[in-house]
Amino acid sequence: KRLILVGPPGCGKGTQSPILKEQHCLCHLATGDMLRAAVAAQTPLGLMAKQTMEKGQLVSDDLVIGIIDEAIQKPSCKKGFILDGFPRTVAQAEKLDAMLSKQGVKVDKVLNFEIPDSVLEERITGRWVHPPSGRSYHTKFAPPKVPGRDDVTGEPLIQRKDDTAEVLKSRLDGFHKQTKPVIDYYTTKGVVVRLQAEKPPQEVTVAISKTL
C-alpha cells in the first residue's frame, strides 16, 4: 500500500504512522523528521532548512522532493510506504505522481485528518518528542511513564523549536493556503478518505484500519 497522511500540525500523523507501519509493514517517510535529523546533524540540507522550519514556513519544494525521490527508491520502500507530511504543495503532489508513474505504481489512499484548528494549540504546546525514534508524547493526552523520559529507552524527551503558539500560527496558515489544495487535488482523483482526527487516538487507529 502507498498511503499519504495529510492534516494540519498536531492532527496526529506522527502518532498514527508507527502503528500503521507495524500493522502493514510499510516504510514510514516523514519529511519533517528527516529534515529535523538533517538540522541536528548540521548537514548542508539541514543548514538550508533550519531557519525556515523555525519560522514555521515550508522549505523549498526541490529540497523535499529530492529527499522523497531518494527514499522511495530504496528496496525497503518498494512494497509500500506511508508519507507523513508530504506532499504539502500541489507542485510536490504532481512531482510525486511523476515519480510513481515511472515505477508503474500510484497512491492508493490519502488519509485526510480533519480537525478543528481550535484544538491544535493545546496538542502542539503539550507535545514532547524522542527524536531518535520519532515517538511523541503529550503532557495531558499521552504522558510518558517517567516525566521527560522516553518509555522505551529512558532517554530524555525534548520540545520542538517550532512547537510554540506563535510559530503554530504560521504553520497553520501554510496548511490552509498551501496544503488544502493538495487535498482537493487528490479528491478529484477519488482517493481521499476523511478521518475525524479530534477523536481519541485509539478511535482514530480503528477508523484507519476500517478504511484499509
Q: Which residues are catalytic?
A: 13, 88, 127, 160, 171
144 forms part of the interface with ligand AP5 (CB under 6 A): no
Least Å distance, CB 26 to Zn ion, is 16
C-alpha cell belonging to residue 59:
522549505
In whole angstroms, the minimum distance from the beta carbon of 200 to ligand AP5 comes to: 5
The closest alpha carbon to 86, from 102, 99, 101, 74, belongs to 99
Shortest Cβ 117–ligand AP5 spacing (Å): 13
Count CB-CB contacts under 10 A for residue 75: 7
C-alpha cell at 14: 506522527
Chosen from ligand AP5, Zn ion, none, partner binding at 167 (C-beta under 5 to 8 Å by type) = none
Rule CB under 6 A: is residue 130 a binding residue for ligand AP5?
no
**Rounded to an integer, what is the distance from CA 192 to the centroid of its chain?**
16
Which of 108, 173 has the CB closer to ligand AP5? Answer: 173
* Touching ligand AP5, residues 156-175 (CB under 6 A): 162, 171
Q: Which of 8, 10, 14, 56 binds Zn ion (CB under 5 A)?
A: 14
Phi-psi label, residue 40: left if phi above 0, alpha if psi -120 to 50, beta otherwise: alpha
If contact means CB under 5 to 8 A according to the sort of partner, which of Zn ion, ligand AP5, none does residue 186 touch? Answer: none
Q: Considering the complex, what minimum distance in angstroms separates the CB of residue 192 from ligand AP5?
A: 17
Regarding 112 and contact with ligand AP5 (CB under 6 A), the answer is no
CB 31 within 8 A of CB 86: yes
Does 80 engage in binding with ligand AP5 (CB under 6 A)?
Answer: no
Residue 32: name the closest of 99, 22, 185, 8 by CA: 8
Q: Phi first, then psi: give them for residue 194, nearest 5 degrees.
A: -90, 135
Which C-beta is closer to ligand AP5: that of 150 or that of 162? 162
- The closest of 159, 147, 183, 153 to 10, measured between CA atoms, is 159
Nearest residue relative to Zn ion (C-beta):
14
Rounded to whole angstroms, what are the CA distances from 47 to 44, 71, 161, 177?
Answer: 5, 20, 15, 26
Query: Given the rule CB under 5 A, which residues bind Zn ion?
Result: 14
Give residues in contact with ligand AP5 (CB under 6 A). Answer: 7, 9-15, 31-32, 35, 52-53, 56-59, 64, 85-86, 88, 92, 123, 126-127, 136-138, 141-142, 162, 171, 200-201, 204
